[in-house]
Amino acid sequence: MVTDASQTKERATQPLAPGLYLVATPIGNLEDITLRALRILESADLIACEDTRQTQKLLNHFGIQTPTVSYHMHNEGPRAEELTSRLKQDARIALVSDAGTPGISDPGVELVAAAIAAGAAVFPVPGANAAISALIASGLSTDSFVFHGFLPAKAGQRRTALEELPRNGMTHVFYEAPHRIAETLGDIEAVFGAEQHIVLARELTKLHEEFLRGPVSGLRSQLASRAAIRGEMVLLLAPDTAGNTQRQSIAAEVAALMQSEGLDEKDALKRVARERGIGKSEAYRELQREQSRKR
């Protein structure tokens, strides 16, 4: 939709209406801030920030002197109540995260729900978002995609989450931390095979922005050769049943070895763990999960 320029100019000169403004901020490049975002941050009565110190750098850069207050995962409940009380008195509050769009893997959802319940207006102010930025430049399908946030930190839960992904060509988008990316890629290879195509988007919009595209085994080797892996990452993949044969379950492999070679379950499990390149305890936990799902 194209907005008439005169309407845009008129709206910019009007006083800011009461309500909660969800303001997206740059994820790296300060040029990605919008004119509307700057106007709202300057006109608001208060800016609720994930980290006031981080947001203050942005405000100082653009000469904005609006008061700030912290709003993060550790004070989300009581602060949401306090901010909602102010919204009921027709305050104009801007909500920002450290970078990107508030509420997307960042605090904000609880405040939005409370504001709506209180009858306050809620205004989205679009802008930078790492997941969408990575998706549109990934080369993967954008017709159908799911954003999952961060994968579980624990290995067993992460592997289960990957195994449960639909294999229908839909693009799956995740955030991942640099200290976990190597383990996550190992899990993807174990679940989907060495040739599973993935995309890693690193340091988006920043000086060292990088897109890595290719088979998961190749990207694992590429990252392993680096002295250090830095920067938050967006991980994308689109498992396809036709192109990627699902690996046999551990339980099925153990049963096959017991039948074909006469091994007991313990020795069969050791063999499977060794061939998959995982520890015996991890293989045992996965075997237990598979057996519990069948009950």
Collapse the DSSP code of 92 into the 3-class scheme (helix H, G, I; strand E, B; otherwise coil) and give the result.
strand
Nearest-CA neighbor of 77 among 121, 107, 116, 51?
Answer: 107
Tell me the pLDDT of the chain (295 aa) as tens digits: 555 665 666 666 789 999 999 999 999 999 999 999 999 999 999 999 999 999 999 999 999 999 999 999 899 889 999 999 999 999 999 999 999 999 999 999 999 999 999 999 999 999 999 999 999 999 999 999 999 999 999 988 999 999 999 888 899 999 999 999 999 999 999 999 989 999 999 999 999 999 999 999 999 999 999 999 999 899 999 998 654 444 567 888 888 788 777 888 888 888 888 776 677 887 888 888 777 766 6
Report residue 71 as tokens: 């709003």
pLDDT of residue 5: 62
pLDDT of residue 98: 94
Alpha helix segments (H runs only) across 101-193: 109-117, 130-136, 155-163, 181-192
Reported pTM: 0.78
Alpha helix segments (H runs only) across 70-154: 76-88, 109-117, 130-136
Q: Which residues contact 55 (CB under 8 A, 6 or more apart)?
A: 25, 47, 49, 68, 96, 98
Nearest-CA neighbor of 71 among 88, 94, 91, 92?
Answer: 94
Q: Looking at this protein, which amino acid is placed at residue 10?
A: E
pLDDT of residue 284: 84
What is the helix (H) or strand (E) element at residue 201, kind and residue range?
strand 197-202
pLDDT of residue 248: 67
Report the number of secondary-structure helices (H) and strands (E) in the chain: 12, 10
What is the helix (H) or strand (E) element at residue 46, kind and residue range?
strand 46-49
pLDDT of residue 243: 46
